Every structure is written in structure tokens, then in C-alpha cells.
Chain A
Amino acid sequence: MAAEIRPKRPFRWHIGVFLAPAVLVYTAIMILPLAGTLQLSLFRNIEQHQVFVGLENFRTLFGDPNWSVNFWNALRNNTWFFIIHMLVQNPIGVMLAALLSSPRLRFSAFYRTAIFVPTILSFVIVGFAWKLILSPLWGVAPHLLDLVGLKSLFTPWLGKEEYALTALSLISVWQFVGIPMMLIYAALLSIPEEVIEAAECDGITGMSQFWKIKLPLILPSIGIISILTFVGNFNAFDLIYTAQGALAGPNYSTDILGTFLYRAFFGFQLQVGDPNMGAAIATMMFVIILGGVCVYLFLVQTRLRRYQF
């Protein structure tokens, strides 16, 4: 064949071909449903027809006390849920990772696995198991406390308004503490030996080595973990639903945005589902999460110092 010389550079089809699967799948299962939800939130079912009502659903959500009280309550609870995770789960995760990466620790592979196992359990199992553990009737918790003479400390935590949400947050922490641990553990392992050795030459060892050398180096990972926790917590639903039911009792004290959305969207018992109001709540959740992620990306991440080795 005679060689054909084209002056123009050929269109690079392979780029499109390689991108196509990801773009198509992502569009089909993420972007379209998201757009569908946003669209649904702008409509209302009036006499069996979907009618465009603009932002009317949001006005109901924030203006009608029947909705707004529940919404703010859910948002407040959700924020507390998140705070507990940030204050308990992530520091414990970092601590466990620091302990695990210590060369003197024996059986570290065993601990690593054992601590990570709850993460891969189903919410249904975790919710049910903890409900049983904390059960005042057959649970091991009152019994164990009794053995050490602290029975008086036991209360039916999951049934008390003032404790239920905190108890559930801690259950969730127990389940997911493996994730920050693994990520930080990986980050700690990637710190080059030379840096550590140089620190040791300068006389920085032990705790101060962790605070002054290792912690600054793993800060970007901690940032990523915080944002993952944020997104995960504001999307949470399963644990509350399996442990407390869709009404998130007692007295809505464990109601978070996920359960509130569920009741609005699908209905519950005699309450008929309202997909449009549900979509409005889902949109608000999207906005909250988007806002949080943006704050992180533009305000926090740009200020984090990165070290290249």
C-alpha cells in the first residue's frame, strides 16, 4: 500500500474509547439519578399529575414547622453524629495506626485484621448484635458491669433520649475505626527511613518524634479521612434504621437526615410516601455534603503542606 501522508494529526480515538466505560457507567448510575432527584424536588404531585412548582417544596421544608422542626432536628443530630466520629473515631484510628507501625509490637498483623473486621460486617449484623449486647434483659453489657460491681452505671442506653444518639455514634465508631487506622497506617509506612533516622540523629525520638515528624507528614491523610467521615456520616442511614427503626426513637432523638429522608420518600406505616418532598430533603443533603467538601477542598487542602521525598 502506498503510504498516505496526512498533514493533520489523526483524531486520537483511544482517549474517548478508554474514557467511555467510566463516563458511561458513572453517568448512568450517578449523574442521571442525581439530576433526576434534583428535578423531582422541583415538582409536586397535584391530583395524580406532576406539576412544576419551583422551589415550593423547599419553602415547605423550611417554612412549615411540621417539616422544618424535623429537618433541623435531623441536621443537629447528624452534626453530633459527625462530631463524635471526628473526636473519637479518627484520633483512635491514628493512635492505633501509630501503635501498629511500631516495630516492637508483636502480632501486629493479627491486631490489624481484628480491628478491621467490623468494617466489613453488614450494618444489619452490627445493629442487631449491639442491640443484643446492650439489651437490659439478655444483654452481656449489664452482666459484665455487674461482675465489676458497676451495675449502677448501666442504663438502657438505646432507649434513653439523652444517650441513644451518642451510643449509636460510638457503635458506628467501633464499626468503622478500621478505615482511618488502615489509611494512616499506610501513610506512616510510607515515611522514608532516612527522615526518621535524621530525626533520631537530631535527638528526636519517642513521642516527640511522632508529634514533630510523623504527624505533620500524615496530615494530608488525616484531611482525606475527615472528608470521608463527613460524607459517610451525612449519608448514614443503615445503622439507625436497623437499631432504632424508621421513626428513629425515642422521640426522634436519633433521627438523622438519612432516616428523615427515608420516611418522607417511602412513607412509614400509615404515612404515605411523598417522593417530591423526599427529593427535596435529598437535595439538601447533597448541598450540605457538597458545601462541606468544597470548604475542605478550597480552604483546608490548599493550605496543607506536602512533602516530596
Chain B
Amino acid sequence: MTTKLLTALLLGTSILGSAGVANAADVTLNIESWRGDDLAIWKDKLIPAFEAKNPGIKVVFAPSAPTEYDAALGAKLAAGSAGDLITCRPFDKSLELFKKGNLADLSALPGMENFSPVAKSAWQTDDGKASFCVPMASVIHGFIYNKDAFDKLGIKVPQTRDEFFAALDKIKADGTYIPMAMGTKDLWEAATMGYQNIGPNYWKGEDGRAALIKGDQKLTDKDWVAPYEELAKWKPYLGDGFEAQTYPDSQNLFTLGRAAIYPAGSWEIGLFNTQAQFKMGAFPPPVEKAGDTCYISDHTDIGMGLNAASKNADAAKTFLSWVASPDFATIYANALPGFFSLNSAPVKMADPLAQEFVSWRGKCKSTIRSTYQILSRGTPNLENETWVESANVINGTDTPEAAAKKLQTGLDSWYKPAK
């Protein structure tokens, strides 16, 4: 790690140094990030594309390890040595930085109009008045299926819940494939790929989420219990011993071709493309009746903000406006299939599976995971409890009603909605 850091520093200074020689007026922007995996994409694709259009501004991408990022960034911000541009975690972590005055208000930044309110919600104050990060990417939930298996069994892609369960019954009756690859051992699969995946269709996406935060709806309401009732019905379609099946087990089960349907997040696309030997397709969470409005979880994951103490604020804003542009979105989304640009402008992607996922944005309404904004600030933590209860419901150790009641009681104990 130290050597890496040292190399990065040396590299940084050498670039700085040579830039100084080449053109005294050049401005160098440093990007703080935890996405070390993306280093090559930034260096080879994104930064050259930006620098070609904006001579005079140099950009250096300087990532640190994900587990160290928050602490290191905090220390650097306090010492005044942080980079000009800061990669933002969603929700409370970035909000805290903004409240401390470390992130600049970007509400008026040219390019922000390219994003929908849902996309911006992860980096806004609770009242939605100030935005402080440009949304970069999100992940979408849905179901990935084994196309070969569907063809062999003559199953059409399900649109409605009845069709969905009919398809599962058919796969189960045939017996060649495990109908659905999901386990409850790691808990979060049940919550993230289960509850948050199918839930938005029941609680009507943003409407329900906003009502929950306002206190107009409760987790014990019909719309919030119903997804648990559906989850409880999944149990017979999961593989043998799903209670001890871990997340990597589920991934392997599907990519080895032993399971037909995988409740997924779009971040799987990159891995599945390299591992699966069969054709894959994807469908959004089925709705109740054909023609119903569909809702998808299009969860904001990563953004970029401006260090309030940056000396190169103007150049940094130019860069952020470019990050908000469709140009950036196209390069980024194609380099990382499964991490979708949040830009309202349609982005052309080469990967067919990624295209399928992103096409749902056109016909369905987007929302984010219900537990992430505001509601997971207290004890007990709603997100963690949702993991536990979702797994309980699928395991059959808790009824949907009991699970919902536990969650609401926990939430009530610390959360008082602003009336």
C-alpha cells in the first residue's frame, strides 16, 4: 500500500512538474476516489477525452483503497490536502461532508439539469434544496435468466406475477434446473435482490418511499407487507439447502447453468458475461396485471463533488459539467457494463444485457432502495434489520406480518417523521 501510494505521489509530482514546464497556465485537478478498479478506465479513456476538449486543464485520478477511503479523505480534508474533486458515497456519508462545509453546493452547476430528482436524491440535503455531487452511476435490479433454459422449456419471459410463478412451476416440474438461484445465508441477498427488487412495484416506487419518510405510510401497510408475502412464496423454488447458500454460491449456481433465474443487480453483468457459457436475458420485476405501471430500483451508487477548499474551483466545475454530460456517460457506461449513467440523455451501450436493463428506465419508473435515505440513521438500523427479516421471511421463521411489525416498531423507536 505504501509503495503504491508513493508511486502515485511520485507519478503525481512528475506529471505536475512536466505540466509546469509545458505550460505555466495549466491547472491540475486531483480526483479522490475509492474506485481503484477504475484506474485504467480513467487514465486511458475518460481523462484523455476530457483533456482533448479542455486544453489547459490536467486531471489526475488518485484512488485509495475502499476500506481506507472515508478515513483517509476525512484526514486529508481536515489537513487541507485533499484533491479538488471528491468521489461521493451515496447518502449520509457525503451529506455529513457537505454539512461540515467540505463539499461545495453544486445546485447551480451547468449540467445538473441532465439528472432526474431521483438521481440527485442521494446527494441532496434532506429538504432537497441543495445538491452537492454530480450523480455518476447507478445499479438496477431485476432478474437475469438463462435464455437456453427458457427456450428449452418453452417459457416466455414473464410480464406478470402469475406468469412469473407459472414459469417457476414449470421449471420446477421439469427438474433440470433449480428455478431460482438465491440463498439466505448472507442475508443481504434476501433484502437487496429480493425485497428491494420486487418491492417498488407494490409501494409504487418514489411515491411510497417518500410517504414512508414523511410518515404517511408505515412498513406494516399492505403495500409494504405484500412484497414479503411474495418473498415467502419464493421458498419452494430455491435450491436445496438455500438457508446455507452464500452469495458466491448463488452466482456460481447460475453461471454454471444449474439455475434458470437469478434475482440480480446489474453489477453482475460484467462477471456473468465472462463466466456464463449460455445466452442470458433479463426482465424487470413482474407487475400484477399486464399493462400496470412498472417500477424499478435504480439505485444511486456513486457521484462526484467539489472540494469547497479547492483553489481551482472554476476548472473543477468545468470538469464536473463534463461529468454531467452525455459524453462522459457514454464512455463510463460502456467501460463498466452494469454501472449505468444517471444522465437523462439516452446512452448507447454495446452490451446487450446492459442495454436490456437500461431500457426499463424508458417504460418503468425509477426509485432507490427504500431504506437508504434518512431511515437508516438510528438504532436499530433499518437496513440491517431488513436484511435479517427478509431472510427470516424466506426461511419461513417469520410471517410477513410479523417481519413488517418488527421493522416498524424498530423504526418508530427512534424515527419521528417531520410533520
Contact = CB atoms under 8 A, between A and B. Distances in A.
B86 interface: no
A294 interface: no
A180 to B, nearest CB: 29
Contacts of A250: 184-185, 187, 243, 388, 391-392, 395, 397
Interface residues of B, number: 38
B384 A136 contact: no
A252 B389 CA distance: 10
Given A161-B397, A250-B395, A156 B410 contact: no
Interface stretch (B17-25, B244-252, B290-298, B348-356): B244-252
B384 A247 contact: yes
B244 A135 contact: yes
Contacts of A131: 246
Interface string B222-250: 00000000000000000111111110010
Interface residues of A, number: 32
A291 to B, nearest CB: 27
Interface stretch (B323-331, B359-367, B371-379): B371-379
Contact of A67 (B242, B379, B397): B379
A299 interface: no
A269 B386 CA distance: 12
B273 to A, nearest CB: 23
Contacts of A66: 379-380, 410, 413-414
A268 interface: yes
Q: Helix, strand, loop or mixed for chain A's interface?
A: loop
Nearest to B246: A131
29 contacts: A66-B379, A66-B413, A67-B379, A135-B241, A135-B245, A136-B242, A136-B244, A137-B239, A137-B240, A138-B249, A156-B244, A156-B245, A159-B245, A161-B395, A250-B391, A251-B391, A251-B397, A252-B388, A268-B384, A269-B381, A269-B384, A269-B387, A270-B92, A270-B371, A270-B381, A271-B379, A271-B381, A271-B384, A274-B379
Interface of A: 65-67, 131, 134-138, 142, 154-161, 244-245, 247, 249-252, 263, 268-272, 274
User: 8 nearest interchain CB pairs?
Assistant: A136-B241, A159-B243, A156-B244, A159-B244, A156-B241, A271-B381, A270-B376, A270-B383
Given A66-B380, A251-B391, 17 more contacts: A136-B242, A156-B241, A156-B243, A156-B244, A158-B185, A159-B243, A159-B395, A161-B395, A161-B397, A247-B384, A249-B388, A250-B185, A269-B188, A270-B382, A271-B384, A272-B377, A274-B379
